[in-house]
Structure 1
Amino acid sequence: MNDIKVKLEDVCERGSSNLAQKDLENLTGDYPVYGAGGYVKDIDFYHQENEYIAVVKDGAGIGRTVFLPGKSSVIGTLQYLVPKDNIVPKYLYYAVTSMKLEKYYTGTTIPHIYFKDYKKEVLPLPNKNIQLEIASILEKAEKIISYRKQQLEEFDDLIKSRFVEMFGEPEHNIKGWKIVKMEKLCRVSSSKRIYQNEQSMTGIPFLRISDLVSRMDTGSKECDLYIPKDRFEELKELGLVPKAGDILVTARGTLGRCYIIAEDDEFYFQDGMITWLSEFQDEITPLYISNLFAMPGFRKQIDGLQAGSTVAYLSISMTKKLDIMVPTIDLQNQFASFVQVIDKLKVEVQKSLSETQILFDTLMQDYFEKLN
């Protein structure tokens, strides 16, 4: 783009909010208030007449940009960026999003960012017709991304509904399946500890819990830690590498998320943060176990183990003692056939989602990040 380049402060005014969550408790009305997590509630007044951009300036999600409607307000953890007359609000939103404002954070206990630090960020400013056209293109791509994510969520909900239909809700076990401790159904362990001096810049991927979660959520196999291939082969010879069909379970932070090892997987993982389920008995299938972990009633059992704990942690000893309802293997296999059909559909949707995300990222770079 060969348009004029301007600074952020040339196209918007900074505004602040003095609203706190506690101030809203007794208020009702028709005008929405938003926080870092999204919509909070409706109240009887508003701070902004027209569409605007808000930036999370304190705490979790710092630097995240949101586009908000007129006749609304934000609480004090967000900062207003009010568009001037020379810029289309939605175009400003995409421009600010491309700036990745989180890089400006300061502070350690409670991170925060200041407009004075990022107001000199540069953006291209074409005429308003072109701004509208660019914003429209990016908005269409974002809507497709949102729709694909919604489809994936609906597929997951369909699997959960089928699970309850076939097996019942695990919290109450109304179908009367026998209950067995996890340690009686499979081996519960973790990886062998890999010390920092054993890690390398190339070789076999070494997954931390964030890498595993990313692999589950997006299918991404990106990783920036590795172990040497000969070390991996040594561990494999000793039977210390997960095999296809084994389950890895997140054991810190968001607990109980399950990843079933695929035939073509080749990686190692961080001990302590991830639990390894293997050597399943004939009466249980990994697919059933992984979906059981996703059920709200089963998660209550996990949450119950956290009483008095300041850090969410599902230890190996805790996992061994989990109560597992065990339906007939024939019913588990029927469920697996159903999930297999849904998973094929999910693969196609995930492929479309990934392609659209790449397109969106490329467009954002072309429009805003190549300021030549």
Structure 2
Amino acid sequence: MKGLAEHLTAFTPNTKIADCLNCHSSILQENQVKNEGKYKVYGANGICGYNDSPAILEDAILIVKDGSGVGNVSYASGEYSVIGTSNYLTAKSGYSLKYLYFCLMIFNFVPYRTGMAIPHIYFKDYGKALIPCPSLNRQKQIATLLSKIECKIETEKTITESYLQQKRFLLKSMFI
């Protein structure tokens, strides 16, 4: 997926990340998250729990800003919250959030890491980096294509996992 995203976004970098995305922070801590609830709470490795009320009401790019997963990028939709080790980024007017997600998916955050014991990245630093931003119409075309491929990949992963579960069941049944 990353290779295809690199190919389809291989335009000359011309726009600062901070010019097309707004950065938001959370103060929610992992110990404040519940095991059950109506709304998902995302952490560094995906869903880490639930809450009864969402902090975020729109689609956003989630980026891990602290710890071993620093620079990991994901996309969240709907109503949800994030814990404080992540920032959530929203698109400014004239930019496709999904396109920017694919750009950040392949972005190299390593030069922007600071901290020895606990690595960090700061939006004020990587926000100055240039990324390729064609016209909004072209951004939407690329994002739509990559989203369809990403969805197909997830479907194939689900099918593969189902086959693996069937295999484990059958092998277990054979050797009881």
TM-score tier by shorter-chain length is 0.7 to 0.9
Match of 1:22 in 2: 31
1:145, distance to aligned residue in structure 2 (A): 2.2
Structure-2 separation of matches of 1:139 and 1:25? 31
Match of 2:156 in 1: 148
Give secondary structure in 2 for the equivalent of 1:125. coil
1:97 aligns with 2:105: yes
Match of 1:11 in 2: 20
Q: Map residues 273-292 of structure 1 onto 2, 5 A cutoff.
A: none
Q: Map residues 1-372 of structure 1 onto 2, 5 A cutoff.
A: 5-25=14-34, 29-168=37-176
Structure-2 separation of matches of 1:43 and 1:7? 34
1:162, distance to aligned residue in structure 2 (A): 1.2
1:79, distance to aligned residue in structure 2 (A): 1.0
Give secondary structure in 2 for the equivalent of 1:22. helix
Q: Is contact 2:34-2:51 (8 Å) kept? A: no
Structure-1 separation of matches of 2:25 and 2:130? 22
Cα deviation, 1:81-100, whole Å, max 9, x if unaligned, reads 12111211111111111213
1:3, distance to aligned residue in structure 2 (A): 7.5
How does the TM-score come out when normalised to structure 2?
0.83
1:10, distance to aligned residue in structure 2 (A): 0.1
Cα deviation, 1:47-77, whole Å, max 9, x if unaligned, reads 2222111101112322110111132210011
1:126, distance to aligned residue in structure 2 (A): 2.3
Give secondary structure in 1 for the equivalent of 2:63. strand
Structure-2 separation of matches of 1:96 and 1:68? 14
Structure 1: unaligned runs, 5 residues or longer? 169-372
Judged with a 3 Å threshold, the aligned counterparts in structure 2 of structure 1 residues 102 and 156 are, in CA distance, closer, same or farther, namely: farther
1:4, distance to aligned residue in structure 2 (A): 7.9
How does the TM-score come out when normalised to structure 1?
0.42
Give secondary structure in 2 for the equivalent of 1:62. coil
Give secondary structure in 2 for the equivalent of 1:145. helix
Q: Is contact 1:8-1:121 (8 Å) kept? A: yes
Letter in 2 for 1:129: N
1:159, distance to aligned residue in structure 2 (A): 2.0
Q: Is contact 1:99-1:121 (8 Å) kept? A: no
Cα deviation, 1:309-334, whole Å, max 9, x if unaligned, reads xxxxxxxxxxxxxxxxxxxxxxxxxx
Letter in 2 for 1:33: V
Identical amino acids, percent of aligned pairs = 37
Structure-1 separation of matches of 2:11 and 2:174? 61
Greater relative contact order (CA < 8 Å, ≥ 6 in sequence): 2
Structure 2: unaligned runs, 5 residues or longer? 1-9
Greater Rg by CA: 1
Give secondary structure in 2 for the equivalent of 1:70. coil
1:39, distance to aligned residue in structure 2 (A): 1.6
Letter in 2 for 1:100: N
Q: Is contact 1:17-1:75 (8 Å) kept? A: yes
Q: CA RMSD in A?
A: 2.2
Match of 2:7 in 1: none
